Amino acid sequence: MAQNHPYYIFLALLAACSASASPNPLPDDPACTATDRVFMSRAFELARQGVASGNGPFGAVLVKDGKVLAEYHNRVRTTTNVTQHAETGLIATFSPKMDRATFAASTLYTSSEPCTMCCGSIRFAGIGRVVYGVTESQFERIITGTDETNHLGSKEVFARTAPQVKVLGPLMEAEGLIEHEKYWPTHSNPSRPRTNGASGR
Ligand SMILES: [Zn+2]
């Protein structure tokens, strides 16, 4: 059967439609609290600020005893520094001013699930609790346009490398996915190296 036969064209269209379909939001982690929702909203706002500043849609907030200690958004594109993810950027910027006890008693809210690099930063900072908004495999589907996601999720990374870190998520994923759906279709695919070699995220 020729590749231009209507049957193959139908299959190709079906594949394209399914690949570009928005992921169905996953339910909230039942262990998250009403307070967690308040600070997740702030992390989403920081993700929007990241986009407004010319960067990817990622934000993070560090909170202790209900008080915001630090905020950061992704700065990878404007700095051309691939380590400038929201979580690692926050830790690198603020750790010289914080002691380990403060990190241990804090929650890091991040608009999207931390990648393996950021899991490492969180581990070495000694942050005690992490709450993420959008699951990494969910936004990777939007970035790649496929279901071929990598994933070693953050819960597994922490379980194997730093089990003392409490990790919760997803939380408010439907809201968090909106910024990804707006951003990635008009920006380069980070799986393809850019001219300066940066990953793009
Ligand atoms: Zn990261």
pLDDT, tens digit (0-9, with 9 covering 90-100), for 21-71: 579 999 999 999 999 999 999 999 999 999 999 999 999 999 999 999 999
Residues 90 and 109: their CA atoms lie apart, in Å, by 11
Q: Is 179 a catalytic residue?
A: no
Instruction: Name the least confident of 3-12, 149-158, 192-201.
Output: 192-201
CA 11 to chain centre: 32
Task: Give the residue-averaged pLDDT of 72-84.
Answer: 97
- Work out the number of other CB atoms within 10 angstroms of the CB of residue 64: 17
Q: What angle do CA 105, 64, 167 make, to 5 degrees?
A: 60
Listed residue (81, 93, 90) closest to 111, CA to CA: 90
Mean pLDDT of the chain: 88
135 three-state secondary structure:
coil
Quote the ligand 1 centre to 67 CA distance (angstroms).
23
pLDDT value at residue 149: 66
- Kindly give, in sequence order, each residue whose CB lies less than 8 Å from that of residue 39, ignoring residues fewer than 6 positions away: 61, 63, 68, 107, 109, 131
pLDDT value at residue 173: 98
What are 51's two structure tokens? Answer: 């986009």
| pLDDT above 70: percentage of residues in the chain | 81
pLDDT value at residue 14: 46
Reported as type and span, the H/E element at residue 142 is helix 136-144
pLDDT value at residue 183: 96
Quote the ligand 1 centre to 143 CA distance (angstroms).
15
* 154 has a pLDDT exceeding 50: yes
HEC sequence for 68-79: EEEEEECCHHHH
Per-residue pLDDT band at 151 (split at 50, 70, 90): confident
Quote the ligand 1 centre to 101 CA distance (angstroms).
23
Handedness of CA 119, 121, 125, 130 (dihedral sign): negative
Catalytic option among 87, 113, 140, 179: 87
Quote the ligand 1 centre to 124 CA distance (angstroms).
14
Quote the ligand 1 centre to 114 CA distance (angstroms).
5
pLDDT value at residue 196: 40
Task: Give the residue-averaged pLDDT of 104-123.
Answer: 97
CA distances in angstroms from 82 to 6, 55, 109, 167, 186, listed in the order given: 44, 11, 20, 24, 20
Quote the ligand 1 centre to 7 CA distance (angstroms).
42
pLDDT value at residue 147: 76
